[in-house]
Structure 1
Amino acid sequence: MQRRFLSSTATAANYYKITLKRSTIGLSKDYRAAAHTLGLYRLQQTTYQPVNASTAGSILKLKELVKVENIAAIPTKEDLLAAKTPRGFKVIGSKL
C-alpha cells in the first residue's frame, strides 16, 4: 500500500535557495565536501538546488553553516538585477 500525501505537496517549493553564512575553515573534509557538493565555495554565496533527498541530506549536515529558503522558481538574471539597489548616491537637497 502506497501512502499519498494530499496536503500541500502539490504547492510545495521546487527549489532550495542556499546561502553559506559561516566558513568551513577548520572543519573536516566531509563538511567541506558537502558544501562543495551544494556549490558553495565562498561566504555569502547563494546557490539554487532542487528539492530532493540528497540535497536535503547535505543541508542537514551543514545546518549550522547555511541559510535555506524554499522558493518556487529560480530567479532570472534580470529579476536579480531589478531587485538590486542602484549604485552610488543621490543628492536630495543642499544646505548652502
Structure 2
Amino acid sequence: MMNRRLFSSSTRAAADFYKITLKRSSIGLPQDIKAAAKTLGLVRLQQTSYKPVNASNAGLILKLKEIVQVQLVDHIPTAQEIAATKPSKGYTIVGSKI
C-alpha cells in the first residue's frame, strides 16, 4: 500500500518522479487531450516517460487519467538497469531427448 499521496506537494516527494505509461489510444479524443499526451512525451501505446513530481505534470496526468498508468518512482532507471530486467534474446537448449 502506498503511504504517499500521488499528487503530493511535500518537499520529500519533490525528489521523486512519475513513471507514466500510455495504456489506451488517444484516437478519437479531443485535441487538448492529444496535446497533453504529447506534452508528457507519450505518442505510442505502452510508451513510458519519466517526469518530475510537480503541479503542472500532475494537472496533465489528471487530464489523461483514463488512458495512462502512473507510478511513483525514486529515480529514472539507466539503460543498463532496463537491459538487466529484460530477458535474454533467442533461446537456450536445456536438454536433449536423443
- TM-score, normalization by structure 2: 0.84
Partner of 1:42: 44
Q: Deviations over 1:38-60 (max 9, x none)?
A: 01010010000000011001111
Partner of 1:18: 20
Q: Deviations over 1:26-77 (max 9, x none)?
A: 1110110010010101001000000001100111111110011100111111
Structure 2 counterpart of 1:19, one-letter code: T
Flag structure 2 segments of 5+ consecutive residues without an equivalent.
Answer: 1-9
Structure 1 counterpart of 2:37, one-letter code: A
Q: Which one of the candidate residues 84, 87, 93 is aligned to 1:85?
A: 87
RMSD: 1.2
Q: Which one of the candidate residues 50, 53, 63 is aligned to 1:61?
A: 63
Q: What is the distance in 2 between the residues matched to 1:85 and 1:38?
A: 28
Structure ID, larger Rg: 1
